[in-house]
Each structure stands twice: as C-alpha cells, then as structure tokens.
A = this chain, B = another copy of it.
Amino acid sequence: MASGSAARKPASEPLVVLEEFLPYRLNVLAGLTSSALAQIYAERFGLSIPAWRVIVTLGQYECRTARDMAPDGVMHKSTVSRAVSALEKRGLVKRRPNLDDRREEWLALTPEGRAIYEAVAPEALAVGERLLSVLTPQEQKTLSALIDKLTRQARMLAPQDAEGEEA
C-alpha cells in the first residue's frame, strides 16, 4: 500500500548510492563540461570531439597521428584515423609521408586549420577558466594533484589502455 510514497523511499539496504559513487559523479561532471565545450567547437566550428583534440594537438606540436595523438590510449586509433580524414577533407590538416618510416605520416595544420585553431582555442580556454573560477588557486592546485593521482590509479585498474563510454 501507500504506493505513491514508496517511489523515493530507499530500499531496505541500498548497497550503492549512485549520487555518492565516484565514477558516476566523475562521469556526470565530465559530461557536463563536455557539453559546455561542445557548444563552442561543435555548434560554431563543426568540430567533433576527436577533431577538436586533433586540432589542439597539432596546434600545440607538429606531430604525427594516431599513436602520437593518443599516446595513452585516450582515443582509439580508428577514432583518430577518421577524425584526421575528415579534417583533411575539409582542408584543415595536411598529410606528408614520413620517408624514414613509411607506415606513418606527418600531420600538420594548414593555414586554414591554424586559423580555426586560433579562433577556437581561446574560447575553449575561456570555458575552462569559467569552470575553474569557482575554485581558489589553492583548490585548483589540489584538484590537479588529485586528478593526477586518480588517473594513474585508474590506468592501472582499466583493462590495459582503452577508454571511452561513460558510467
């Protein structure tokens, strides 16, 4: 009886309280920040998340694809491959064969690609700063250290590399 009030009443022994479960909370937070960022690079520049990462990486260095783009297994190599293809098709990235090792190819931003980079990057940074603005500088340092610790540990617990999905 009293069917209505049973809805939110906890069951006898809730083994996991989702709202307190760290992986869940991390995923919610990561998803929200992604949404905030996606507004910028997706809606306004037509970039997917992998494409955005490629652009930023190439804006930072001038490196080669796949393994360099996902050195820690953050992106799957097929993901990188497709992102690069798309960017090349749009004329934002250029491939150049590596004569020393013809399995791989050097990637670099074209002038158009760099223009986009220089337009997106500051806005993305601004979002990051707006996010962090609720933390004191000290808290930001602490957070950074905690994330590093957890990431190291998570890397040990995860299959071997792999990433993606949510939880």
| Contact for A31 among B36, B131, B142, B163, CB less than 8 A | B163
CB distance A61 to B9 under 8 Å? yes
Min C-beta distance of A15 to chain B, whole Å = 4
Instruction: Report B-chain residues with C-beta under 8 Å of the C-beta of A28.
Output: 72, 74, 151, 163
CB distance B135 to A150 under 8 Å? yes
Tally of this chain's copies: 2
> 1/0 per position for A142-157, CB-CB distance to B under 8 A?
1110110111111101
> Is A34 in the interface zone, CB < 8 Å from B?
yes
Per CB-CB distance, the 3 closest pairs between chain A and chain B, nearest first, are A32-B154, A31-B163, A30-B30
Interface on A for B, CB 8 Å cutoff? 3-4, 6-11, 14-18, 21-39, 49, 52-53, 56-57, 59-64, 68, 72, 74, 100, 106, 117-118, 121-122, 124-125, 127-128, 130-135, 139, 142-144, 146-147, 149-155, 157-159, 162-167
